[in-house]
Amino acid sequence: MKILITDGLSKEGLSLFENHKNIDLDVRKKIDRDELKDIINNYEAVIIRSATTIDEEIINLLGADFKLIGRAGIGVDNVDIKAASKKGIIVMNTPSANAITTAEHTIALLFSLARKTPQAHNSMKSLKWERSKFQGTELYGKTLGLIGMGNIGRLVAERALGLKMKVIAHDPYILKGTNLNMPVELVDMDEVFGMSDVISVHTPLTSTTKNLISKGSIEMMKDGVLLINCARGGIVNEEDYSYNQIATGFKYFFKALFLYLLFNISVLIGTILLIIPGVVIFLMFSQIFYIIAENPQIGVIDAFKKSASLMKNKKLQYLGLGLRYILFFILGVFTLGIWWLWLTPQMYVSFAIFYKELQA
């Protein structure tokens, strides 16, 4: 039996064929599509990895003697299974291949995201020490939502439970209430999106899982959710995800701007309200002194009554005078720079919210 191996294979994998004398291997580390179309019909089977695609066009070139397409890995999205089945060609994969490796890689990415390791690494390489900027998040007690509870999903769940995380999961092929022999709660997909602090995807790429993570599902998620995809790229709509990141950034920016304006407008109004009584008292006492100076025989109480009567009878004039005093006071404060010196730290504090949220 002649077998073509297109993307190379490890020594351990090749050794499995050595004891079979009736198997003739042709191992190629790399092959382009045109060459594959020219030679594939010279074999009875092909073993591929992710770099080679066997689509309907190539399958239609295969003769009646072609028996098997083997995928050295889990996913078979690079093989047209429907076209192969029509020609009676068996498509096989290795569902347990790299399962432990992928599960461990998922946990590695989880720690990297939670502790902001790549960003901190780049910061250190730039000779910076930004300790508070990369404080990170504890995983203890956080909720991990798994989409897919196959071999890899289960292995990830076991390791997350060891970290004392709460694990919930959705798998369309497992009924709610099924005993998984581990403390994992099976929930609806929307609940995974809405309840999880971390979401990890472990499904094949099919017509139902393509763009599974898109605008609609992202809107259900918590702010700051960590998303890990160790399955297939097409499951996450990256354009929607990027748009959401930008939209989130603008949301926090306008939130910070609103807080900044609200705080400082409140301070300005409060200051004016504190000034008004002072201006009224200043005007009244100035008028009392003027009345006494003009008529030294008058008593203080009588001068006070006369001042109050004058202010009552000339409300508009005194109001205008008072507003002029307030305006001159505010302009004076601005001119001296005292106002801005006091407001600047508040501005930094307000906008720090925006920058902190972007780093989360």
Q: What structural domains does the chain harbor?
A: 2-93 (3.40.50.720), 99-236 (3.40.50.720), 248-359 (no CATH)
Which position has the higher pLDDT, 267 or 235? Answer: 235
Residues 103-142 as b or e (16 or more Cβ within 10 Å = b): beebbebbebbbbbeeebeebeeeeeeeeeebeeeebeeb
The overall pTM is greater than 0.85: no
What is the predicted pLDDT for the residue at 268? Answer: 62
The pLDDT score that the predictor gives to residue 17 is 82
Which percentage of the chain shows pLDDT scores above 70?
A: 68
Distance CA 226, CA 360 (A): 10
Q: CA dist 354 to 92, 214, 266, 342, 359, Å?
A: 51, 25, 21, 21, 9
Average predicted confidence (pLDDT) for the chain? 80
The amino acid sitting at 93 is N
- Residue 267 contacts by C-beta under 8 Å, 6 or more apart in sequence? 343, 346
Whole-number pLDDT of residue 358: 46
Q: Which residue has the tokens 């590695």?
A: 108
Mean pLDDT is highest, among 13-27, 68-82, 321-335, for: 68-82
Q: Who has greater pLDDT, 156 or 1?
A: 156
What value does the CA radius of gyration of the chain take, rounded to a whole number of Å? 37
pLDDT band for position 321 (50/70/90)? Answer: low
Q: How far apart are CA 130 and CA 135, in angstroms?
A: 9
Provide the pLDDT for residue 85: 93
Task: Assess contact for 211 and 235: CB atoms under 8 A.
Answer: yes
Encode pLDDT of 204-240 as tens digits. 888 888 888 888 888 899 988 999 999 888 888 877 6
